[in-house]
Structure 1
């Protein structure tokens, strides 16, 4: 069952939990804000649903509470950051802030970060740049999850791409895995006991896995040596565009692990505590191309033209960021959605850390 909870109370609970781990007040606030941003915008796969995974990594030492990101190579417009296995959200905020500062000073800022951790949604970091009046992009690699076109097992991560640009009435925000869906979406469907649409998951390269009760196959999604994997955006065949998602996943790998000389997807595993995902952060000042306000006004008018196109009967045309803006208004008014199993996970973590939940979950 899914219920709604007051977002400010849940944010405060997450803050208390991260305080209890030993994170500073400032860092705990950043983590809570990042996770609640995700739930408030209707992306429940990467919000507080992820607390259990982060808890596991903190306990086994893959996430190191006291680690701080460090610039190890730098130019006026670029930097390489070693995150030293700190929490992904904190590494991501730090790295995008470096990119934003460089873009404000030199027009462009590009940062690639290695030895990081799972950082949530790519769009959050892209939107940090948009909020600063800049164009933002972010991406991350991950452990193998996606099967390349015509292959039999996973080799590439879900490797999402986030892009954001200032616009009216709200920023344009595109955020998507290069696989058909992210791993977190599968986890949410399994918690809700919902069957999967065809070709979110494939077995032996071409056979769809759809039943949420097929525990044996779905459990193998986390095994890089298994024959079960997420499909690339476009499915399993070139005729439906599988090669496009596959190619986009490789491009993400270039901007994250290859340029940082960090770990590629196949080198990342939850068991190996000395390897972590890599990320990229880009900020671009539109002013290097012309009058910034005119560019934003032109882009905003372009998006409005799309929204006003004739729509299929019974459907609404949304551009990227519209649904998230609506979800945000709804969640602020009625609360964020949390399923019972995720709530049980959060409650168990809080109990172990001696954090009271009674005042936050009513």
Structure 2
């Protein structure tokens, strides 16, 4: 069952948990903000739902509480960051702040980061740039999950791409995995005991898996030796565009692991403590192309023209960022949505760390 919880109270609980791990007050605040931001925007697959995975990695040493990101190479417009296996959200915020600073000084900032951790939603970091009046982009690779077109084994990560640009009445934000859905969405459906509604998972290259009770196949997702994986954007056939999602996933690999000399998707393993995902962060100042206000106004008019197109009866035309803005208004007023299974995971973590969770979930 899904219930609503006050976002400010849940943010305080998350803050207390990360403080109990040994993160500083500033670090705990940043992590809590990113996770609750995600749930406030209706992306439950990557909000507090992810805390149990981070807890496992903190316990086994894959995430190192005291690690700090470090610039190991840079120019006026670029940098390579070694994250030293710190928490992904902290690495992501640090790296995008570097990119933003370079963009404000030189028009463009491109940062590629290695040895990081799962950093939540890519859109959070792209939006950091948009909040500063810049265009933002971010990507991350991940351990093998996606089936290359015609392959029977996963090889590419879900490798999302996020883009954000200032607009009116709210920021345009595109954030999507290059697989049909992210791994976290499969996890949410299984927690809710819901069957998969489309070809999100395939075995033996092209056989769909729909049943949430199919533990044999779904438990093997991201096992590089198993004949099961996530479908690329476009499904599993070239006729439906499978090669497009597959190709986009490879492009993400270039901007994350190849340029940073970090770990590629195929080298990432949850069991290997010496490897971690690679990420990229890009900030661009629109002013290098012309008057910034005119550019934003022109883009806003363009988006509004799309919204006002004739729609299928009973349907509404949204552009990217619209649904997130609607979700934010609803969840800020009525609470974020958390399923019972995820809440139980959070309470178990809090109890082990000696954090009192009762005042925050009533």
With structure 2 as the length reference, what TM-score do the two structures score? 1.00
Cross-structure match for 1:68: 68
Q: Does 1:15 align with 2:15?
A: yes
Task: Report the equivalent of 1:81.
Answer: 81
Provide the residue aligned with 1:106 in structure 2: 106
Displacement, 1:74? 0.3
CA RMSD, Structure 1 to Structure 2 (Å)? 0.4
Please give the alpha-carbon distance, in whole angstroms, between the structure 1 residues aligned to 2:83 and 2:50.
Answer: 20
The residue correspondences of 1:21-170 to structure 2 (distance < 5 A) are 21-170=21-170
In 1, the alpha carbon distance for the partners of 2:113 and 2:80 equals: 6
Q: Secondary structure at the match of 1:296?
A: helix
The equivalent residue for 1:173 is 173
In the TM superposition, what whole-angstrom CA distance separates every residue of 1:220-274 from its partner, at most 9, and x where no partner exists?
Answer: 0031110010000000000000000000000000000000000000000000000
Matches within 5 A, 1:201-240: 201-240=201-240
Alpha-carbon distance between aligned partners in 2 of 1:227 and 1:194, rounded to the nearest angstrom: 23
Could you tell me which runs of 5 or more consecutive residues in structure 1 were left unpaired when the two chains were aligned. none
CA distance in 1, matches of 2:174, 2:48: 21
C-alpha deviation, 1:197, in angstroms: 2.0
Q: Tell me which residue corresponds to 2:306.
A: 306
- Poorly superposed stretches of 4+, deviation over 6 Å: none
User: C-alpha distance in 1, partners of 2:348/2:222?
Assistant: 23
Counterpart-to-counterpart distance in 1, 2:194 and 2:35 = 24
CA offsets 1:140-164 (integer angstroms, 9 cap, x no match): 0000000000001000000000000
Q: Does 1:332 align with 2:332?
A: yes
Query: Shift of the alpha carbon at 1:199?
Result: 1.4
| Aligned partner of residue 358 in structure 2, secondary structure | coil
Q: Distance in 1 between matches of 2:319 and 2:273?
A: 40
Unaligned segments of structure 2, at least 5 residues: none
